[in-house]
Amino acid sequence: MAGQLRQQKAAMLPDRFWNALVSTPELRRVLTPRRTPLSLTSTLLETRQALGQLQRWQEAVASPDHVTASLPPLTDALESLYRSDALPRLLYSLPLATAWLNQISAQLEPLPITTLCPATDPQRQDRLRGAMTHYYARGLQPWLAQLDRQFRQISPSLTALFDNESPPALQAWQTSYASGLESRVWLDFRAATVRHAKAWQGVFLRCEAPAGKPPLLPKSG
């Protein structure tokens, strides 16, 4: 009877571990998109390390032996996670970039040739290339590459931590942000990035101005 009771309590530990974590306002802030775009210099290294420590705790709690003495203090991992705002900024930036890209693509796609490159402008091709270089290659593309790189780096940690055993209350969040390269925000971001590049390529084709190398795209997943 005592053994059965221990097994029942052990089975409840993973849920209690998660409930204790997600009940803290600090962790909810980390998992909630923050309305500030991720900067070009931001890094999620500290966040990845903290998530790795949390995963080790999660695995230990879920283990029948339940040995945590050799683990780093849980408070250290949590404090490290709370210190950085890079993750919530990344979670905000991905759908923000998706919306921007789709909006601009929708404006570029139907533009007539007379608007894009009027025949009366002898420098229309150079102007078009200059506009694309200034707007896309020098401005937007480095930021898109930063989002691409940072999500690819943090994605394995999020996926490992928020696996299929996470509480039902977290499953919608998991689908959006912690399903690896199948995460909803990532799929939407990739689709918008590809659409935007094709929109610019379509502009050059319609104006009969070869774009040379196409806009740089993050490698497909």
pLDDT for 66-84, tens place per residue? 666 677 788 888 888 888 9
State the pLDDT at residue 217. 43
Look at residue 14 in the predicted model and tell me its pLDDT: 58
pTM: 0.80
pLDDT digits (tens, 9 = 90+) for 12-46: 445 666 666 767 788 888 889 999 999 999 999 99
Residue-level pLDDT at 11: 45
Question: Cα–Cα distance between 99 and 202 in angstroms, integer?
Answer: 20
Span between the terminal Cα atoms of the chain, in Å: 51
pLDDT band at 214 (very low <50, low <70, confident <90, very high): very low
Whole-number pLDDT of residue 215: 43
Do residues 16 and 118 touch, judged by C-beta distance below 8 A? no
The interaxial angle of helices 184-206 and 86-108, nearest 10 deg, is: 30
Instruction: Note whether 107 and 50 are within 8 A (CB).
Output: no
Does residue 125 have a pLDDT over 70?
yes
Residue 65's pLDDT is 67
